[in-house]
Amino acid sequence: MSRVVIVGGGLAGIAAAMRLARNGLKPILIESRKKLGGRATSFIDPRTNEVLDNCQHVVMGCCTNLLALYSELGVLDRIQWHGATYWANPPHAHDRLQAGWFPAPTHFTESFLKLRMLSVGDKVSIARAMWRLIRMGRAGRLAWRGRTFLEFLIETRQTQRACELFWEPIVVSSCNLPCSRVDAPCAMQVMQEGFLSHRFASAMGLSTVPLLSLYDAAQSKIEAAGGSVRLGVSAQSLAFDGRRVTGVVTDEGLVEGASFVIAVPCDRLDRLCSESMKKADRRLQHLAEIRHSPILGVHLVYASPVLNTPHLVLPGRPTQWLFNKGTDSNGRQMIHAVISAADDWMEFSESEIARRVHEDVQWACPKAVGLPPHSVRSVKERRATFAAIPGCHDLRPSARADALGGIDNLVLAGDWCDTGWPATMEGAVRSGFTAAAVCIGHGGQEPDLPIAPLARWMGLR
């Protein structure tokens, strides 16, 4: 297959382009912004001229495709791994959850039993739910399609504190929806694949450099293979001859090709397609029905260090996570706060956001009491991810046109496609690798982490 045109230079588009280039094709990657990375990138704050990440992005050990892409980009060494997660439990010291001596899926047992924020009753209820998640395996979780994770928590008789302090922080930050709204299999997949399958699966990786610089090598690698990256070029529509896509109409003219990987968010794709394309391909008929969920990221600078761990979960608080972004030469500490499923925060002013987040920082970090942040920069992403609500699975299209018809040279990619993953960097890269495989005719996603023998024996996979 000859010329492949990719629209969208987020992780899905980058992954597709890198795979095509590696296989001897010469992809043309079109991106409307002047930089790569899409939602997982950085920007220059006009107030301070500092490079800030759009929001803290966390990679987990189970993200095998994203890690393969980082490896191809030569940036794996810029990811710092954290085996432990810290949970605030004032006025006591932070709790710590980390893999111990036991094999997966029991590797958290020792530190879980030591958590002081939960009572024995809370822990027994959580263990009961974990056992159900292990025993049901993949097939069992798919049977929960169309129901919320809260229904599962009720069915497994979770205590209120277990829901509030344990399940809610994990689910809201991985699925960007609360337990009461998220499609159960989405949250179950996070627990099964991210926490139970392998002791490295839940390790948390944080970039030590601005996200944007993780993609530095992409352009040169694509160009070295004979492809090109056109930044600052916006697709306006797709040219369609009634059977196939023939080109991408951009603000700089028509870009023709044999195949087209469209790796833009679903609402953008909806605008690029004509009615005749939608009639011809049922993957395009429900794009406008996909709902979104917001995330709020808040960059705070404190005059002196207030957070003494690399990150901190704030169970039961509106601010869910704090990330320690280091201390500058003046002794000032940068902290990034994250609020997922942030619908209630979208209308707040920056000063109101600062007040609320600082309240939570003071709750978790005694050193912040009476020390208001020196500066605050909030970044609201209203359409941060698709909303993984019950029914969303039916709206997520596959990469290729199915046997029932469709436009066969139109390949779809993006975290919102049918990857089986929540809207994450890993989901985006999986979709990009799949899209490339459709164009090349072979290849595809990287294998998952091998399942631990005990977890397999117990029925997890």
Residues 205-234 that bind ligand FAD (CB under 6 A): 234
**Least gap, CB of 126 to ligand FAD (angstroms):** 23
Q: Figure out which of the listed residues 11, 184, 212, 389 binds ligand FAD, where binding follows CB under 6 A.
A: 11
> Comparing C-alpha atoms, which of 294, 252, 290 is closest to residue 268?
290
Distance CA 256, CA 246 (A): 6
How many CB atoms sit inside 10 A of residue 94's CB? 20
CA distance 301 to 374: 5
Q: Is 265 in the site for ligand FAD (CB under 6 A)?
A: yes
Burial of 447 (0-12, 13-18, 19+ CB in 10 A): exposed
Calpha distance 93→46 (Å, rounded): 38
What residues have CB less than 8 Å from 210, skipping those under 6 apart? 42, 51, 52, 53
Span near ligand FAD by CB under 6 A; candidates 53-61, 67-75, 124-132, 356-364: 53-61
Which segment (7-15, 119-127, 325-333, 345-353) binds ligand FAD by CB under 6 A?
7-15
- Taking the complex as a whole, the smallest distance from the CB of residue 215 to ligand FAD amounts, in Å, to 11
Q: Does 31 bind ligand FAD (CB under 6 A)?
A: yes
Segment near ligand FAD (CB under 6 A); pick from 24-32, 188-196, 311-319, 404-412: 24-32
Position among 222, 381, 395, 435 found at the interface with ligand FAD (CB under 6 A):
381
Residues 6+ apart with CB under 8 A from 48: 375, 377
Exactly one of 106, 424, 434, 445 binds ligand FAD (CB under 6 A); which one?
Answer: 424
Q: Does 235 bind ligand FAD (CB under 6 A)?
A: yes
Cβ at position 435, least distance to ligand FAD in Å = 11
Tell me, what amino acid is at 249?
A: V
Ramachandran bin of 214, using left for φ above 0, alpha for ψ from -120 to 50, beta for the remaining angles? alpha
The overall longest dimension of the chain from CA atoms, in Å, is 67
133 interacts with ligand FAD by CB under 6 A = no
85, two tokens: 């997660």
Work out how close the CB of 379 gets to ligand FAD at its nearest, in angstroms, rounded to a whole number.
7
Q: In what order do the strands lie in the sheet with 245-250?
A: 235-240, 245-250, 253-256
DSSP state of 441: S
CB-wise, 390 or 427, nearer to ligand FAD?
Answer: 427
Name which position in 55, 133, 212, 218 contacts ligand FAD (CB under 6 A): 55
Q: Which is nearer to ligand FAD, 52 or 117 (CB)?
A: 52
Residue 67 near ligand FAD by CB under 6 A = no
Position among 17, 20, 52, 57 found at the interface with ligand FAD (CB under 6 A): 57
Q: Site for ligand FAD (CB under 6 A): which residue of 6, 68, 428, 435?
A: 428
| DSSP per residue, 280-344 | H-GGGSSGGG--EEEEEEEEEEESS----SSEEE-TTSSS-EEEEEEE-TTSPEEEEEEEES-GG
Q: By C-beta, is 248 or 455 nearer to ligand FAD?
A: 248
Residue 141 binds ligand FAD (CB under 6 A): no
Q: Is 299 in the site for ligand FAD (CB under 6 A)?
A: no
177 part of the interface to ligand FAD, by CB under 6 A: no
Q: How far is the CB of 32 from ligand FAD (least distance, A)?
A: 4
Token duo for residue 392: 């969303």
Helix (H) or strand (E) holding 260: strand 259-262
Nearest 5°: phi and psi at 251?
-70, -5
Confirm or reject binding of residue 385 to ligand FAD (CB under 6 A): yes
Residues that bind ligand FAD (CB under 6 A): 7-13, 30-33, 38-40, 54-55, 57-58, 234-235, 263-265, 268, 295, 297, 381, 384-385, 414-415, 423-428
